[in-house]
Structure 1
Amino acid sequence: MSAEKRTGFRLSLVTRWSALVGTLLALGMLIALGLDYFFPGHPVLVFCACLLAIVPIAIITIRSQIQPILSLFRALEGTVASYRDGDFSFSLHWPQNDELADLIAAHNELGNVLREQRLGLVQRELLLDTMVQNTPVAMLLVTDFGPGSGAIVYANLAARQLLSNGRKLEGHQLGSVLEGAAPALKEALARGGDGLFTAGEAEDEEVYHLARSSFTLNGRRHELLLLRHLTLELRRQEVQTWKKVIRVISHELNNSLAPLTSLAHSGQELVRRGQTERLPQILQTIGERTRHLESFILGYARFAKLPAPRLEAYPWDVFVDRLADQVAFRLAGELPSAPAWIDAAQMEQALLNLLKNAHESGSRPEDVELSVRRVQDALRIDVLDRGAGMSDAVLTNALVPFYSTKRSGTGLGLALAREIAEAHGGRILLSNREGGGLAVTLILPTLPGTAP
């Protein structure tokens, strides 16, 4: 029977069984009247004869009615077991137009829905497996994961190519698979956490990013390992960065050398004519342009050759006094009593850049503030101004090296501050302030070797 609802004459179970019982009772009464007619005055004999006649008929009739229903219940039990096993291809038929027909129609409709859902799920699984197998990211699913151990339960094509020359990895131990892998990969897995590592040497050097996530499946701990090959992306980014560096340096050199050439030629003409009264002005301008060019080149050199910080305990009051001798600002709040574990020279350079940027933002000098305070297990340094702030696009790119919105800017001030903060184990944050202005925040560890 299909899942469509039956139409036409409908005879309910109650009506059919009531008619059956009524028929049996009427038949019993007719038999009793007939026997009483032939055997008057013998009520016991009539009753016993009536029972002997009607009971077999009632049993046979009721069994003939109940047997299809019992068969239907067994069929329902069988289809439910098939549904539990994931087989939704069965449907049932009931010839009567009654309540059981409605039950069978609903059951068949449920089977159709489950079958369609199973088909959609299979198609989605096939699509997902196709996508996972063809992604360039190597994927490994490992159970009972430990340092260099664990059974591989899933590996896509990229993982097979990377670790076993295309051979199947499922069922193998991760430790045995890694025996022929690069030592850098073994170290990255043993180290734990996400991160970059480099395999190979010189021209064969390859850069990978390892990401991992843990979860529990069927009561067992699993770990998903993702290995992404970043060499091509990093090389393209490196080329773009070098192009940008060359563009910026070329622009700055041309802006400085062109006027220097012009001024030198003018000085030469003045000397030839004997008009030396303007030479001091020309030489002063040449000196200013030369110092600017030298400062520009030194800025790039400092960024490119930033040494590892030498952390030492340094009193905050002495450090802030040194800053105040070089740039104006207002100190907000009290300084921490504990000394700072910093490379004083590098941190001074970073904060000088941030404070000078605050003055160049259009803020009034008295609105430029410096705040140093301890927040839980970290140190927070805020440089605040009331300038124009930054747009969303500028906030996104402000920390990128060589990105600048100033015509004469090098784009190294914030990038250098970021490099110094990260070298100290911290980070830098930018945000616009309510009421206007910018807040530049450095989050640093309070002690060397601790994370903020």
Structure 2
Amino acid sequence: MKTRESRLLMLFCSIQLLVLVLLLILTWHWGWSVLAMLTLLFALLYPFGWLTYKFWQQLNLPLMLLSNYVQRLHSGEDAVCPNQLQQSGLLAQLSKDIDNLAADRLRAEHQQQSLALLIELMFSNWSQPVCVFSGQGTLLYANPASNSLPGIARLVGSSYTDLGFEMTPAGLSHHLLHKGWQTQSIRYEWQGEQYWLFTAFDISQPLQQAELAIQTNLVRVLSHELRNSLTPMSSMADTLLCGDNWQESQVRKVLERVRQRANVLLEFVQRFASVSQLPPPRQEWFSFSAVLEQCNGLLKAGDQLEFSGEGRCYADPELFAQMLINLVKNALEASEEGERKVWVRCYCRDKSQVLQVDDCGAGFANLDNALTPLYTTKTGGSGIGLTLANVIISKHGGRIHLGNLPGGGARVELVWPLP
């Protein structure tokens, strides 16, 4: 297929040929000789050829210059627009548009290089794996620590789907980084472009250390409880066995003490097992005052239990009754004898419910370890009451807060969402 320039050139040549034919016909009618007609033909061929060359040059030269100019810009050279293009209206505008596109591309490349340099400086020495994806999901950077990601390739330029990642409402995730890894993805904007920053933390060792600490603490508390119960029982049995003549009253006394220590130990085991056997909560609206009445059996003569706030509550009534009994029991035990008073308050704050249990005791001796399972500073305590409350409120999607009151006493605050 002929180009537009070739067609124009053929049209111009056709016009010139037509002019020559008309001149030859005219001279023929004038009676010119053949030699004269050929002489005229050869005389006109040179100017016509010169005009054809100039026409072709005027037609193609600006386009050739423009093409050369674009190629030099594409190769990254600092090209200057030719004068021939600056003098032509349409070509001058076209060259300006090309200049603007080239400048925009150069700025984009500089921004990309600046971003790559910034990312390299920030994350090259990180000990945690870091990957940077474009807004379209293309891997732009992966630091050296990302070599530790199990079974995940780090091919820069690949799509996140090809690398096994998937997009979730929380951001990027990978099915190989669930157990023993904590991942986080952040979407951010850099000079008008969207990017994803994906980080992964190997938490397998801290988890193992935490599990070992829990096991150590569990063994320590269980050993303590077992020793406290079994040592007196063993001592009383030895005393009884060393005697030759057993008296019925002495045997009954020893067996009664053995039964008391065994009941204490069984109660501890049952309370400990109840923490791990809690069912999922079945939340409903119920009368909080009715649940609080179950705590009246804990009160002795002179004890006070005051309640204020909302009379209705949305939670699992059975679990909350179990939790409230433990909290009120702890608050009464923390108060001084003769001045045992507990304040319970239930109210709504924003879109959450709040339950506060205050006492008039000495407060928490160690707030940092107060929620540690099986930790207690009370004589004869098991450290399960607050652990049970923490588990129950967590099952309701809430949190527990502990603190000491300025005027003395401790506060346990539970916050969980409203429906």
Q: Which TM-score bucket, shorter chain as reference?
A: 0.5 to 0.7
> How far is 1:225 from its partner?
1.9
**Does residue 389 of structure 1 match 2:363?**
yes
Letter in 1 for 2:321: E
Whole-angstrom distance in 1 between the partners of 2:296 and 2:193: 59
Contact 1:379 1:445 survives alignment (8 Å)? yes
Could you say if the C-alpha distance between residues 238 and 264 of structure 1 is closer, same or farther in structure 2, counting changes exceeding 3 Å?
same
Please say which of residues 401-410 and 327-336 is displaced more in the overlay.
327-336
Contact 1:313 1:341 survives alignment (8 Å)? yes
SS state of the match for residue 401, structure 1? Answer: coil
> How far is 1:211 from its partner?
2.1
**Does residue 178 of structure 1 match 2:169?**
no
Could you say if the C-alpha distance between residues 191 and 293 of structure 1 is closer, same or farther in structure 2, counting changes exceeding 3 Å?
farther
Whole-angstrom distance in 2 between the partners of 1:407 and 1:159: 51
Counterparts of 1:226-265 in structure 2, within 5 Å, are: 226-265=199-238
Could you say if the C-alpha distance between residues 163 and 243 of structure 1 is closer, same or farther in structure 2, counting changes exceeding 3 Å?
closer
Whole-angstrom distance in 2 between the partners of 1:153 and 1:366: 65
Q: Which runs of 5+ in 1 are unaligned?
A: 1-121, 180-185, 448-452
SS state of the match for residue 177, structure 1? Answer: coil
Counterpart among 140, 143, 146 of residue 131 in structure 2: 140
Counterparts of 1:108-123 in structure 2, within 5 Å, are: none
**Does residue 300 of structure 1 match 2:272?**
yes
Letter in 2 for 1:258: T
> How far is 1:172 from its partner?
2.3
In the other structure, the counterpart of 1:158 is 145
> How far is 1:150 from its partner?
1.9
Letter in 2 for 1:345: E
Higher Cα radius of gyration:
2
Contact 1:163 1:177 survives alignment (8 Å)? no
> How far is 1:307 from its partner?
2.6
Contact 1:161 1:167 survives alignment (8 Å)? no
> How far is 1:246 from its partner?
1.1
Could you say if the C-alpha distance between residues 162 and 440 of structure 1 is closer, same or farther in structure 2, counting changes exceeding 3 Å?
same
Q: Which runs of 5+ in 2 are unaligned?
A: 1-113
Letter in 2 for 1:379: Q
Contact 1:378 1:445 survives alignment (8 Å)? yes
In the other structure, the counterpart of 2:285 is 313
Whole-angstrom distance in 2 between the partners of 1:378 and 1:281: 54
Whole-angstrom distance in 1 between the partners of 2:231 and 2:290: 44
**Does residue 402 of structure 1 match 2:374?**
yes
Letter in 2 for 1:249: L
Letter in 2 for 1:245: L
Whole-angstrom distance in 2 between the partners of 1:163 and 1:152: 17
Percent of aligned pairs sharing the same letter: 27
**Does residue 439 of structure 1 match 2:414?**
no
In the other structure, the counterpart of 2:22 is none
SS state of the match for residue 414, structure 1? Answer: helix
- Please, what is the CA RMSD of the aligned residues? 2.9
Cα deviation per residue 1:347-403 (whole Å; 9 max; x = unaligned)?
222222221221222346553111111112111000001211235xx1122112122
Contact 1:151 1:172 survives alignment (8 Å)? yes
Contact 2:164 2:175 survives alignment (8 Å)? no
In the other structure, the counterpart of 2:323 is 350
SS state of the match for residue 371, structure 1? Answer: strand
How many residue pairs get aligned? The number is: 300
Whole-angstrom distance in 1 between the partners of 2:231 and 2:247: 23
Could you say if the C-alpha distance between residues 365 and 192 of structure 1 is closer, same or farther in structure 2, counting changes exceeding 3 Å?
farther
> How far is 1:235 from its partner?
1.4
Cα deviation per residue 1:114-145 (whole Å; 9 max; x = unaligned)?
xxxxxxxx9xx89x94773343422122332x
TM-score by length of 1: 0.60
> How far is 1:428 from its partner?
0.4
Letter in 2 for 1:154: Y
Whole-angstrom distance in 1 between the partners of 2:169 and 2:260: 52
In the other structure, the counterpart of 2:308 is 333
Letter in 2 for 1:238: E
Whole-angstrom distance in 1 between the partners of 2:172 and 2:400: 21
TM-score by length of 2: 0.64
> How far is 1:341 from its partner?
2.8
In the other structure, the counterpart of 2:392 is 420
